[in-house]
Amino acid sequence: MWLFGRGLLGVQLLIGDKSDAMCGFCRLLIDEHIRFDYNIDSLVNEVMTTSAVDLIQELIEVHNGVLHTSDVLAAGLSRTTLAKLERAGELVRVARGQYVLPDELPDELYLWQKRMPILVYSHETALFLHDMAERTPSRHTVTLPSDRRLSSTFPGDVKVYMTKPEFFEVGLISLPTKMGHSVRAYDMERTICDILRSRNKIDDQTVVAAMKNYAARPDKDMNKLGQYATMFRQTKILRQYLEMLL
């Protein structure tokens, strides 16, 4: 009497004699049974992986090219599947809990914004985003309200400025990065005031270039700049620069 079953590692044969031929035949059946189980498992895993890749492609589009572990879990995929996709080269981890497709260049500014949504790009980085900088910042700058701190797990090396909470959202807008993603930044007028307020921490070339480039912008708002200068107590120094440039 033969007993078969998926996952069964042995075959029972109720016979009176134990012949070598019969034992060899049993081993052959066992090997074929195990090979069948293995092939079925491989096929199931392949189908699951293919389905997961399709889902990841859809999620990537929804989340503008960047996936968080929480996004993947919310879509019904497990951490194990996520790890398999990473090992298979279907995803690349660019920071803790953040993934992109392997053929995508990571947009650092957007990744950092996703990692800490409250931060605002300011000073030299805001100049860069407004096309008012002479060069790409060697180190990006962000501003936070004084009652917040940069996360200890923040992946980027950035220069952090603090401002009073009541001033934090003055001039706050959205700007596209050079790779087309939207991030939080300050408008041109707030940026000019920030540059003047922090001029002792910024090289003179950057300050002068910022003022020249702002003065040449057709979309500048001198009334708004005057209001911000009064708010941040930069009226006198602003007037000195503008007298030289306008």
Residue-range domain boundaries for the chain? 2-100, 108-245
What is the average pLDDT across 14-39? Answer: 46
Distance of CA 92 to the CA centre of its chain: 11
Do 134 and 205 meet the contact criterion of CB atoms below 8 Å apart?
yes
Query: pLDDT-based confidence at 38, cuts 50/70/90?
Result: very low
Q: Class of 108-245 per CATH?
A: alpha beta
Over residues 103-128, mean pLDDT: 90
Q: Which tens digits make up the pLDDT trace of 126-181? A: 999 999 998 889 899 999 999 999 877 787 789 999 999 999 999 999 999 998 88
Whether 184 and 126 have beta carbons less than 8 Å apart is answered as no
- Read off the pTM: 0.68
Tokens of 41: 């498992």
Residues 6 or more apart from 175 whose CB is under 8 A from it?
A: 121, 126, 129, 130, 182, 183, 185
Could you tell me if 12 and 3 are in contact, meaning their C-beta atoms sit under 8 angstroms apart? yes
Q: Considering only 44-48, 92-96, 151-155, which range has the smallest mean pLDDT?
A: 44-48
pLDDT, residue 20, reads 53
- Give yes or no for a contact between 163 and 228, defined as CB atoms under 8 angstroms apart: no
> Coil, strand, or helix at residue 129?
helix
CA-to-CA separations, 234 to 183, 195, 229, 241, in angstroms, rounded = 27, 10, 5, 11
Residue type, 225: L
Q: For strand 141-145 and strand 159-163, is the pairing parallel, antiparallel, or unpaired?
A: parallel
Residue position matching structure tokens 């939207």? 182
d(CA 208, CA 129): 17
